[in-house]
Structure 1
């Protein structure tokens, strides 16, 4: 029967260092979550609205790209393929212009939310505190 080697304890110091790193990382995450809880609901809503809009736009553009590929695959002549690509290019410029308008509106809402938070935060300050800021 083969014999087994004793387990080395050479990595014990590494485990202590790793545990300290994990504990420090957890403290950082806790601090970040605590600071996030201070943000008003309107800021969270606008941030998520921007993210949702960007992801939705990406989905629409991917869908349009897939449809372009399908249409190109059905072309029998080069002239048809050129027409398909021209139609696609016309739609792209309009799609990006519409998206820029939507994101601009969301950015304004986001700035309004942050401005409101800032105004609320400093509303209780004295004249000296406002001057110092």
Structure 2
């Protein structure tokens, strides 16, 4: 039985490519999870910045409506109280997002290790 050397080389090359892809698949999956974490975090931060910019704009508008120092003091006090609340809430949300993402990445890494592929 004769075999075509070109076909043997092509078959060996295809097998090698499949093997390399299988070995790099776990890293690609982890990379995907890391990018997902980064995009979710960036989205959350940009959303927060947008809300804060709106609050800042509303604050300046409210200041323009003040006709005495007492009213101005009340507006400023409410604004700074809200700033404190918003930043505290945001830090909590970002912390929770990071914790959940690290858990997902760790689980993905554990399930995609070379040992788990061999099992």
TM-score (norm 2): 0.66
* Structure 1, unpaired ranges of 5+: 1-36, 126-133
Counterparts of residues 1-133 of structure 1 (less than 5 Å): 38-40=28-30, 41-124=32-115
Structure 1 distance, partners of 2:114, 2:75, is 58
Alignment RMSD: 2.3
* Structure 2, unpaired ranges of 5+: 1-26
1 or 2, which has the higher helix percentage?
2
Moved over 6 A (4+): none
CA contact (8 A) 1:57 1:99 kept: yes
Aligned-residue offset at 1:124 = 1.0
TM-score (norm 1): 0.59
Aligned residue-pair number? 90
Higher relative contact order (CA 8 A, sep 6+): 2
